[in-house]
């Protein structure tokens, strides 16, 4: 019975896509691949009830997931792997050396760097003279309490990748797009340090979910 149900689910996905699936059906189908011989529907419902949503399940700590009866190590790893896979997929869609010649493009590109990240992260997007991406370097995860640390990290990264210019990008996992006083202070110090070695700081992008805020658009850089 379960095998027939699984085949119907797979055929439905192949013919209709995933948009018509509800959250527990998406999760149920994902669980097929780590739980081969059991009805995964009850577990899918239990996980969504526990974590509140499909995204909540995928963002849950793997060790916490394993405390749910029926969730083994393979299942916990697979579920936790999905957000990072989505981030890699979206970033890869930009192909090699994407051109970031507007704040809108810079914001859209920066957003792909933060999919599935639950903690604050800081990237330096290194650009060549044509504003094409040479490399997006993750320079820090978690909040840096001391603003003077930022200029040293950024200058070292820009020089390492032989950048002509850079775009700074960090996320606000809490959802606010408003730059903090620390964000503004760190940006000023980074720009001053980069100006001294003739590296142009093009923009600083704050990402919150699918939204983004450009310092350049708001005259803050």
Q: What are 77-102's pLDDT values in tens digits?
A: 999 999 889 888 887 877 778 899 99
Residue position matching structure tokens 């040293």:
152
| Nearest-angstrom CA–CA distance, 40 and 45 | 9
Taking alpha carbons only, the member of 112, 92, 119 closest to residue 173 is 119
Taking only the tens place, the pLDDT of each residue in 19-73 is 899 999 999 999 999 998 889 999 999 999 999 999 899 989 999 999 999 999 9
56, two tokens: 């909540």
Which residues are paired to 132 by β-bridges? 99
15, two tokens: 């013919």
Q: Whole-prediction pTM value? A: 0.71
Domains and CATH numbers, the chain: 2-90 (1.10.150), 95-214 (3.40.140.10)
12, two tokens: 């439905």
């Amino acid at each position: 019975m379960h095998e027939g149900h699984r085949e119907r689910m797979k055929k439905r996905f192949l013919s209709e896509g995933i948009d018509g699936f509800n959250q527990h059906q998406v999760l149920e189908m994902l669980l097929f691949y780590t739980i081969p011989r059991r009805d995964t529907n009850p577990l899918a419902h239990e996980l969504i009830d526990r974590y509140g949503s499909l995204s909540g399940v995928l963002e849950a700590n793997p060790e916490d997931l394993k405390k749910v009866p029926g969730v083994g190590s393979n299942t916990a790893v697979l579920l936790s792997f999905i957000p990072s896979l989505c981030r890699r997929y979206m970033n890869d869609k930009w192909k090699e050396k994407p051109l970031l010649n507007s704040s809108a493009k810079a914001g859209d590109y920066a957003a792909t760097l933060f999919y599935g990240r639950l903690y604050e992260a800081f990237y330096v997007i290194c650009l060549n003279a044509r504003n094409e991406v040479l490399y997006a370097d993750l320079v820090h995860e978690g909040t840096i309490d001391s603003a003077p640390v930022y200029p040293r990290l950024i200058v070292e990264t820009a020089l390492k990748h032989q950048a002509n210019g850079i775009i700074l990008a960090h996320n606000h996992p809490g959802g606010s797009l408003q730059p903090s006083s620390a964000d503004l202070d760190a940006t000023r110090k980074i720009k001053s340090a980069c100006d001294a070695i003739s590296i142009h700081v093009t923009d600083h992008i704050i990402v919150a979910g699918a939204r983004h805020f450009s310092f350049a658009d708001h005259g803050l850089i």
